[in-house]
Homo-oligomer: A and B are copies of this chain.
């Protein structure tokens, strides 16, 4: 018998990816998969790609989850707080939702509304010192998919003083699974195939999380919906400070990070190259016309942007090798 884990909110896309990763993980045993609206249904009826996984969804019941050594929460924003509070303190928790990410209650109120559930250890192991913090934590808030993509591109540059924190401009495009599995007309295949569209322009709720994680003081962030199921590509630009080569700064920051790859010079990230993996690919240059630093980063929004990163955090919290059950190789083409 391995380590007992449970997934709350297992019928969504991030939940399904957690189930897939847990099924392939050498040390984790799934003891409960809960889904409010699907309780009683076989997992494979909701996730046909998990055919062969003989598990039935349960109701999202704290008692059932409390049987686990570690619980993953993959719930809609605003629902994690109450459930987490009902779990015994001895049960470790990784929350993939937004509820416990922000340290600033005002930012929470301004962008999400409702009561702030309080901040947990931020689950981005590649931030300076964060791997250690996660390893001793019992409650970890995994970052959002945009925040992960942008923070991995930007945080080391701000920390090193290589770019100014006060004029950061980001455009990031995401595959449709980032918008969730709810049946909405604007997310129909007929609408999204062949189409690019920006959304929440000038006021996205992830801005405070990105600023908190990167040290940016002023952030223009424009998200774009792209015609593919998975993947985020972020283009991050900032004004350089001093002569440091941004690619070199990033390469040094991630020299020991198993999942973050600063690509060889001349190679640029492809979201497709990270599909299904926990990898993030990064490249940087200096623009010849404007002199701005341009960093691009790519990952799988359900992988390093959600479920796989959650498993990475769980591995650290459980004393397992950080890479166990995770892949750095995408499924391509």
Contacts and interface: CB of A to CB of B under 8 A. Distances in A.
26 contacts: A13-B190, A13-B333, A45-B264, A49-B273, A49-B277, A50-B329, A51-B261, A51-B328, A53-B329, A171-B222, A173-B224, A173-B226, A175-B190, A177-B333, A181-B185, A181-B188, A193-B194, A194-B229, A195-B273, A197-B268, A197-B272, A198-B233, A202-B285, A219-B289, A221-B287, A221-B289
Interface string A252-272: 000000100101100111111
A203 interface: yes
Given A13-B333, A183-B183, A279-B52, A194 B230 contact: yes
B190 A177 contact: yes
Contacts of A318: none
A85 interface: no
B230 A333 contact: yes
Each complex incorporates copies of this chain amounting to: 4
Contacts of A269: 197-198
A260 to B, nearest CB: 10
Given A188-B183, A188-B188, A49 B329 contact: yes
Contacts of A203: 287-288
Given A221-B287, A222-B237, A331-B331, 11 more contacts: A44-B264, A48-B267, A49-B272, A51-B261, A171-B171, A171-B235, A175-B194, A187-B189, A194-B231, A195-B273, A218-B289
Contacts of A258: 52
Given A197-B268, A198-B235, A268-B199, A227 B224 contact: no
Contacts of A16: 332-333
Interface stretch (A60-68, A115-123, A129-137, A290-298): A290-298
Interface residues of A, number: 98
Nearest to A286: B202
A192 interface: yes
A220 interface: yes
B183 A294 contact: no
A133 B191 CA distance: 37
A169 B292 contact: yes
Given A220-B289, A275-B49, A279-B51, A327 B13 contact: no
A6 interface: no
B20 A329 contact: yes
A42 B267 CA distance: 12
Contact of A224 (B176, B187, B235, B264): B235
